[in-house]
């Protein structure tokens, strides 16, 4: 099927020449001269890539309202239940290290097929688990499958676009991707109420199978055979070593990673804080959680427009700094004895909107110079960000007591680290990727 089938979404299309185009009509700031696929991307492709990216988060967000129930059902402590989240994040992070280079060597589609099958099988294992240990093991395997949907769509974006066009496409992916945190907790609470927590995993198994069919029918290969010639395992290892030594790339990765770490702390702590401490029902919790996603989605849709007007780097500087101010204010509120849930929800709503600008733009900027190894660079980005989130969850988990303050402090530390990294990495730059 052709990549351009369906409705176009206005991403600065390039003239067609069979199935590739030359960068002579569209040079990046780095003068990448390799052939590109047709850059006019269909709405269908965006939807499919967004849904593939969302399958893993869907398996998290849909399952969040069930965490207290899982603990009761499997006679597990809070820490053990949270370990099922940590295991998922660890494997989805590490797994991307494998899928990225493999997708550079064999193309984007085969690793997607493999990952979706692993995810579906592991989801069935989660549904049948009879102990928390078994659940943790299958959640780890589930994360390994979900990693394909996290790493490869970003590489596809880089195959097709750079600069502002990439930022816009990334924001559209985020739009689809972010529907998950809005709908998944609500869907999860409904499924749990009707059929119990195990049914959640049957639902995500079906979602993986639908993703498999959608990939087969609606995604064209964007890593052409001639582009794979220089890709190898040794080349991937050299690429990882080179990326790890690149301070600009690493700085951008961890700016986004810091924002995600704060979110992961909220992800792990909010069911216990909002349901057990503040007394929300699972449905009310799902609605409160959805507000953050609405803020993220809404802001992410302005990344391309704001980037064109003010420069991508400037947008990151302002958004990251403002997020740090908001989260520091939230910590100060709780330290002064504040307890109102409305304040927590309102301030984190603002912080989530700011993350909707920081995360997609830093991903675009990090991959901008590495188009020839986009899969590998995307994989390392995803891995380091996921591991940052998992580490943050574990650290904050040791201090969790069911009250808001430990969670809020963990979220704020992530935001403030992001501010520091932003100014260290981008402080001397203006405009898009470079001055």
User: Which of 411, 398, 402, 389 lies closest to 88 in space, CA to CA?
Assistant: 389
Residue 358 CA to residue 418 CA, distance in Å, equals 10
Residue 196 CA to residue 186 CA, distance in Å, equals 14
Alpha-carbon distance values, 393 to 34, 56, 230, 388 (Å): 41, 17, 38, 9
How is residue 401 written in tokens?
């007591």
Strand partners of residue 36 = 21
User: Which of 6, 1, 376, 375 lies closest to 213 in space, CA to CA?
Assistant: 1
Q: Note whether 131 and 74 are within 8 A (CB).
A: yes
User: Which of 387, 426, 428 lies closest to 86 in space, CA to CA?
Assistant: 387
- Which residue do the tokens 């089938």 mark? 5
How is residue 399 written in tokens?
């201090």
Least trusted range by pLDDT, from 199-213, 308-322, 355-369, 389-403 = 389-403
How open is the CA angle 174-136-188, to the nearest 5 degrees? 50
Q: 38 pLDDT band (50/70/90 cuts)?
A: very low
Task: Flag whether pLDDT at 400 surpasses 70.
Answer: yes
pLDDT of the residue at 166: 61
Residue 227 CA to residue 166 CA, distance in Å, equals 19
Q: 433 pLDDT band (50/70/90 cuts)?
A: very low
pLDDT of the residue at 180: 66
Task: Flag whether pLDDT at 7 surpasses 80.
Answer: no
Task: Flag whether pLDDT at 142 surpasses 90.
Answer: yes
How is residue 255 written in tokens?
């700016």
User: Is 39-426 in CATH node 3.90.280.10?
Assistant: no
pLDDT of the residue at 42: 64
Average of per-residue pLDDT across 51-59: 79
Q: 119 pLDDT band (50/70/90 cuts)?
A: very high
Alpha-carbon distance values, 206 to 153, 182, 215, 429 (Å): 20, 19, 14, 46
- Quote the pTM value: 0.67
CA atoms within 13 Å, Cβ hemisphere of 183: 11
Q: Note whether 23 and 33 are within 8 A (CB).
A: yes
pLDDT tens for 62-76 read: 777 777 788 888 887
Average of per-residue pLDDT across 243-255: 92
Q: Note whether 308 and 164 are within 8 A (CB).
A: yes
What average pLDDT is seen over the chain? 78
Average of per-residue pLDDT across 106-120: 89
pLDDT tens for 78-87 read: 777 878 888 8
Residue 74 CA to residue 382 CA, distance in Å, equals 31
Q: Note whether 290 and 274 are within 8 A (CB).
A: no
Q: Note whether 312 and 258 are within 8 A (CB).
A: no
Q: Note whether 101 and 236 are within 8 A (CB).
A: yes
DSSP secondary-structure letter at 276? I
pLDDT of the residue at 227: 57
DSSP secondary-structure letter at 223? S
pLDDT of the residue at 231: 61
Greater confidence (17 vs 171) lies with 171
pLDDT of the residue at 4: 34
Least trusted range by pLDDT, from 52-61, 138-147, 323-332 = 52-61
Q: 435 pLDDT band (50/70/90 cuts)?
A: very low
pLDDT tens for 181-234 read: 667 777 777 888 888 888 889 998 998 999 888 888 777 776 666 655 566 677
Question: Domain residues of the chain, as ranges?
Answer: 39-426
Q: Percentage of residues in the chain with pLDDT exceeding 90? A: 24
Task: Flag whether pLDDT at 176 surpasses 50.
Answer: yes
Greater confidence (255 vs 402) lies with 255
Measured N-to-C along each axis, helices 233-244 and 78-106 cross at an angle, to the nearest 10 degrees, of 120
pLDDT of the residue at 379: 78
User: Which of 269, 258, 263, 402 lies closest to 320 in space, CA to CA?
Assistant: 258
Least trusted range by pLDDT, from 45-59, 293-307, 421-435 = 421-435
Q: Note whether 37 and 161 are within 8 A (CB).
A: no
Q: 140 pLDDT band (50/70/90 cuts)?
A: very high
pLDDT of the residue at 276: 84
User: Which of 155, 192, 220, 100 lies closest to 366 in space, CA to CA?
Assistant: 155
Neighbours of 195 (CB within 10 A): 12
Q: Note whether 382 and 93 are within 8 A (CB).
A: yes
Strand partners of residue 20 = 17, 37
pLDDT tens for 259-280 read: 888 888 888 888 888 888 898 8
Task: Flag whether pLDDT at 19 surpasses 50.
Answer: no
pLDDT of the residue at 270: 85
pLDDT of the residue at 80: 79
């Amino acid at each position: 099927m052709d990549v351009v089938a369906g409705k176009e979404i206005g991403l600065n299309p390039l003239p067609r020449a069979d199935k590739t185009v030359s960068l002579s009509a569209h040079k990046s700031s780095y003068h990448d001269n390799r052939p590109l696929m047709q850059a006019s991307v269909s709405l269908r492709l965006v939807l499919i890539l967004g849904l593939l990216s969302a399958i893993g988060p869907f398996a998290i967000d849909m399952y969040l309202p069930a965490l207290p129930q899982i603990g009761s059902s499997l006679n597990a402590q809070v820490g053990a239940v949270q370990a099922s989240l940590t295991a998922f994040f660890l494997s989805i992070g590490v797994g991307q290290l494998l899928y990225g280079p493999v997708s550079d060597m064999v193309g984007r589609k085969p690793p997607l097929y493999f990952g979706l099958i692993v995810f579906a099988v592991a989801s069935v294992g989660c549904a049948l688990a009879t102990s928390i240990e078994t659940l943790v093991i299958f959640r780890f395997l589930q994360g390994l499958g979900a990693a394909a949907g996290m790493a490869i769509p970003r590489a596809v974006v880089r195959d097709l676009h750079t600069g502002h066009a990439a930022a816009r496409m990334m924001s559209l992916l985020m739009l689809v991707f972010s529907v998950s945190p809005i709908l998944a907790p609500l869907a999860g609470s409904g499924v749990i109420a009707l059929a119990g927590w195990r049914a959640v995993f049957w639902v995500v198994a079906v979602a993986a199978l639908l993703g498999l069919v959608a990939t087969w029918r609606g995604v064209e290969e964007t890593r052409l055979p001639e582009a794979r010639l220089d890709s190898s395992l040794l080349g991937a290892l050299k690429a990882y070593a080179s990326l790890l030594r690149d301070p600009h790339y690493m700085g951008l990765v961890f700016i986004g990673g810091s924002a995600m770490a704060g979110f992961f702390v909220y992800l792990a702590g909010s069911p216990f804080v909002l349901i057990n401490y503040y007394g929300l029902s699972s449905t009310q919790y799902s609605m409160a959680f959805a507000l953050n996603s609405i803020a993220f989605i809404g802001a992410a849709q302005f990344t391309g427009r704001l980037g064109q007007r003010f420069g991508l780097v400037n947008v990151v500087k302002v958004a990251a700094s403002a997020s740090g101010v908001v989260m520091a204010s939230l910590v100060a509120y709780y330290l002064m004895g504040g307890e109102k849930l409305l304040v927590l929800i309102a301030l984190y709503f603002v912080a989530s909107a700011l993350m909707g600008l920081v995360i997609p733009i830093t991903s675009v900027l990090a991959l901008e110079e590495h188009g020839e190894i986009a899969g590998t660079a995307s994989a390392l980005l995803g891995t380091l960000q996921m591991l940052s989130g998992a580490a943050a969850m574990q650290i904050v988990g040791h201090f969790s007591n069911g009250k808001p303050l430990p969670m809020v402090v963990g979220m704020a530390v992530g935001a403030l680290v992001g501010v520091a990294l932003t100014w260290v990495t981008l402080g001397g730059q203006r405009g898009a990727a470079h001055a």
